[in-house]
Structure formats: structure tokens, C-alpha cells
Amino acid sequence: MNDDARAVAEAMYTAFNTHDHQAAHDIFTPDFYSHPMDATGPESVARRWRQMHEAFPDLSVTVEDMVVEGDTVAVRTSVRGVPGQSPTMMEIFRVRDGRIAELWGLSSMSR
């Protein structure tokens, strides 16, 4: 499971960084739930990614640390492309059947 969880985590950040919003449908389970967004489903992720890239076209995320334990992945990232900020994020997600099923996260990015 560790390899599957790591692979889907890497796929998520690659899709985000390449603006491949449609890939969310392959990365997240149909019943995916995001605790920070209080949203369900891969389309909620794709919509949020589009909004973020429209607001910040150069936005990208760099994985600084990734810890995988069974079906759980914890990731610390740095964010680039937000004028006047150098935010970081902490995300924890649960993987089911090779896809992300649930996500918790915190960000230092100002709104």
C-alpha cells in the first residue's frame, strides 16, 4: 500500500503543478471528501484547482517532506507563485483503492 499511496500523492502534485485539472477525476475517489473545503467529489477539487490557477497563474507546490504509513500520507509543501507570500501547507490524506479518498490540510496562505 505504501507504494500506491506515494504514487497517487505524487500524481496529485504533478497534476496540480501542470494545471491538469481533469486528472482530479483519476486521482480522487468519486466519494472523496475534503475537510478544509467541506466539499465532496473530484469535481470539487478540479474546480478549486482552476480557481487557484486563475488567481495565481504561476502557482506551484514543491513537496518538502512526505511520510507514508499504510493508507495514510502526510505531506509538507512549500508554495510558489503567490505574490508577497511564501506559504507552506500540511496535508494528510487517506488512500483507498489507489485513489485519494479523504483529505485534511492547513495552509499559511493569506486569502
Domain that holds residue 83: 2-107
The tens digit of pLDDT for each residue in 27-64 reads 999 999 999 999 999 999 999 999 999 999 999 999 99
Measured CA to CA, the distance from residue 66 to residue 109 in angstroms comes to 20
Write down the pLDDT at residue 111: 63
CATH (domain of 78): 3.10.450.50
Write down the pLDDT at residue 81: 96
> Which of 41-45, 91-95, 105-109 has the lowest average pLDDT?
105-109
pTM as predicted = 0.94
DSSP string spanning 62-99? EEEEEEEETTEEEEEEEEE--TT---EEEEEEEEETTE
Q: How many domains does the chain have?
A: 1
